[in-house]
A and B are shown apart, each in its own frame.
Chain A
Amino acid sequence: QVQMQESGPGLVKPSQTLSLTCTVSGGSVNSGAYFWSWVRQHPGKGLEYIGYVYYSGSTYYNPSLKSRLTISIDTSKNQFSLKLSSVTAADTALYYCARGPFTSNRGWFNPWGQGTLVTVSS
Chain B
Amino acid sequence: QPVLTQPPSASGTPGQRVTISCSGSGSNIGTNSVNWYQQLPGTAPKLLIAANARPSGVPDRFSGSKSGTSASLAISGLQSEDEADYYCATWDDSLNGVIFGGGTKLTVL
Contact of A63 among B47, B51, B97, B101 (CB under 8 A): B97
Question: Within A23-82, which residues are at the interface with B (CB < 8 Å)?
Answer: 37, 39, 46-49, 60, 62-63
CA distance A96 to B89 in the complex (A): 15
Q: Is there an interface contact between A101 and B91, defined as CB atoms closer than 8 Å?
A: yes
Contact bitstring A106-122, B, C-beta under 8 A = 1, else 0: 11111111110000000
CA distance A37 to B37 in the complex (A): 15
Q: Is there an interface contact between A46 and B101, defined as CB atoms closer than 8 Å?
A: yes
B59 adjacent to chain A (CB < 8 Å): no
B61 adjacent to chain A (CB < 8 Å): no
- Tell me the count of chain B residues lying within 8 A, CB to CB, of chain A: 26
Q: Is there an interface contact between A46 and B102, defined as CB atoms closer than 8 Å?
A: yes
Q: How far is the CB of A44 from chain B (nearest CB, A)?
A: 10
B55 adjacent to chain A (CB < 8 Å): yes
**A contacts, CB < 8 Å to B:** 37, 39, 46-49, 60, 62-63, 96, 101, 104-115
**B contacts, CB < 8 Å to A:** 2, 32-35, 37, 43-47, 50-51, 55, 87, 89-91, 95, 97-103
A–B Cβ pairs within 8 angstroms, 19 of them: A37-B98, A46-B2, A46-B101, A47-B89, A49-B98, A60-B97, A63-B95, A63-B97, A96-B45, A107-B32, A107-B34, A108-B35, A108-B50, A108-B51, A109-B37, A110-B50, A112-B45, A114-B44, A115-B44
